Amino acid sequence: MAMLRRLSLRLRLSLLLGAVLALGLALGVGLLILHAGARVRAEADGATRLARDLVEATLPRLDAAPDPQAEIARLLADARRLRHVRVALAEEEAPEQENVDRAPQWFAQLVLPNAVATRIETGRGAILISPNPTDEIAEIWQEIVWLAIGGAGIAVAAFGLVSLAVSRTLRPVATLADGLKRLERGEHSMRVPADGSPEFIIIAERINALAATLQQLDEENRRLVRRMIHVQDEERKDIARDLHDEIGPFLFTVRAGVGALARRAAAPGADPTRLAEDCARIDSQIAALQQVNRRILGRLRPAALEEMGLADALEALAQGWRETNPSVAITLSLDGASGELEEETALTAYRIVQEGLANALRHSGADQVKVIVARAKGVLHIVVRDNGAGLDPTRLRPSSGGLGLRGMSERVGALGGALTLENNPQGGARLTASVPLRSGAAADR
């Protein structure tokens, strides 16, 4: 079986076909040989009966014949003209059988194993009637030989034709295998020709569809890489702008204040009150610089998330938006935000709420925004909805939105979740994300 598995499909089919043809030919020859025994016995029995009847009909004339020996001689001469039987006096030596070489001895023994002679007593000696179907056996053997030769020729011709048909039918297999090998090498733009039998056409179409899908994924990955590089560049620009526009002036002011403080402290008769005022101004500038620094760091990675957990971090985030947008009512339902959460999942949930609040408060014109974080069946659900103007239907897909929404969609997809954006029937927009939880976090609820 192991050696058979190493053979190609074409060779397996050829061997199977050859075995079936050989078996059919052997079965046909075997049936002819089995039938030959009955045929030879029927001929021998018929000839034996005819010769016996001839001898028995002649015996009553022997006593009345003037020359009985001459009558017996004529009887034997007439009987020898009969086929498939030998008639002779018992004391005579059996003559050589004719045509014995036309059939193998094993075949003659097979079809007529026991030839029983019939003995008829006469007043002038006994007459033996023995079956002698050598001609019939030779004829049957010749028929079998020619049938075997003809059948073998037909089998060889059929084997050649069917092998050719199998080879032509299985020819697309090599093309399909080459196509799969090219796919494995990363040639996703290749296509295999869809020809051959309907089954191979279906396989070729599936391979081409797979290649097209992989090619599309390659293009999407290239777009994603370009988008990530663009996002990184934009973040660097924002950080550089913040450092230049906000931290830079503070550092310049602090440095100038420290220089002035140093000059006043070194001057004779320095006023301690003035020095204390300068120190207070420098301290306030440093405090403002620290606030700007915390804001930049919070945009890069929220420190409150590690210090307070997801629920408290979202409360702090919402409170910040309430202070800058007092006319908007922001309500939170954070039952699913408490308890243990994987760091990446918690950060993703925080970023989704952060992006959803920013879009709702900046673009929707809403006066009510609700944030829901819940757990159900091992999944963390995050919902941000507002009662604003809603979105253009062409921008409801997260991938068609801004870089923030596209980034959130890709982040959620990387965790095995899904992010959707839709308009509420009652008005406003609704951002929904579902993120699978690890077994430990899922068991908390």
pLDDT digits (tens, 9 = 90+) for 292-342: 777 776 666 666 676 778 888 888 888 888 888 888 888 888 888 887 788
Residue 356 CB neighbours (<10 A): 26
The length of the chain in residues reads: 445
Going through 306-367 in order, the beta strands assigned E by DSSP cover: 329-333
Same domain, 405 and 315: yes
Summarised one tens digit per residue, pLDDT across range 396-434 is 555 555 556 777 887 888 888 888 888 887 778 888 899
Of 324, 253, 241, residue with least CA distance to 288: 253
Rounded to 5 degrees, φ, ψ at 390 are 80, -175
Number of folded domains that form the chain: 3
Residue 48 lies inside a defined structural domain of this protein: yes
Domain assignment present for 181: no
According to the model, what pLDDT value does residue 213 have?
92
pLDDT at 10 over 50: yes
Assess whether pLDDT exceeds 50 at residue 199: yes
Is there a domain that residue 175 lies in?
A: no
Q: pLDDT for 251-286, tens place per residue?
A: 878 888 788 778 778 777 777 887 788 788 888 888
- Least confidently predicted of 135-139, 145-149, 298-302: 298-302
Q: Are residues 296 and 316 in the same domain?
A: no
Is the pLDDT assigned to residue 25 strictly greater than 70? Answer: yes
Q: 315 and 289 in one domain?
A: no
Does residue 296 fall inside a structural domain? yes
Q: Range of 245's domain?
A: 189-300
Comparison of pLDDT for 260 and 95, the residue scoring more = 260
Q: What is the pLDDT of residue 100?
A: 42
Helix axes 134-169, 171-184, angle to 10 degrees: 30
Asked if residue 5 has pLDDT above 80, the reply is: no
Query: For all residues of the chain together, what is the average pLDDT?
Result: 77
Give the whole-angstrom CA distance, residue 251 versus residue 288: 10
Phi and psi torsions of 372, nearest 5°: -125, 130
Q: What was the pLDDT predicted at 443?
A: 45
Query: What share of the chain in percent tops pLDDT 90?
Result: 3
| Burial (0-12, 13-18, 19+ Cβ within 10 Å), 211 | buried
Span 6-26, average pLDDT: 78
H or E element, residue 249: helix 248-266
44-48, 196-200, 212-216, 292-296: which has the highest mean pLDDT? Answer: 212-216
Joined together, the tokens standing for residue 333 give 């339902």
Q: What are phi and psi of 231, to 5 degrees?
A: -65, -45
Which CATH number is 341's domain given?
Answer: 3.30.565.10
Q: Which residues contact 150 (CB under 8 A, 6 or more apart)?
A: none
Last residue of a domain, one of 300, 328, 343: 300
- The helix/strand/coil state of 280 is helix
Residue that terminates a domain, selected from 244, 267, 300: 300
Range of weakest confidence among 229-238, 335-344, 362-371 = 229-238
Under the banding of pLDDT at 50, 70 and 90, the label for residue 146 is confident
Claim to verify: residue 313 and residue 291 sit in the same structural domain = no
Rounded Cα distance, 299 and 173, in Å: 57
Among 300, 324, 339, identify where a domain stops: 300
Instruction: Answer whether residue 323 is part of any domain.
Output: yes
Burial 78-102 (b: 16+ CB within 10 A, else e): ebeebebbbbbeeeeeeeeeeeeee
Rounded distance between C-alpha atoms, residue 53 and residue 78, angstroms = 12
The pLDDT of residue 115 is 65
Residue 416 maps to a domain: yes
Same domain, 431 and 325: yes
Give yes or no for residue 159 having a pLDDT over 50.
Answer: yes
Q: What's the CA gap between 124 and 106, in Å, rounded?
A: 38
177-193 pLDDT, tens digit each: 888 898 888 888 888 88
Give the model's confidence band at 125: pLDDT under 50 very low, under 70 low, under 90 confident, else very high.
Answer: low
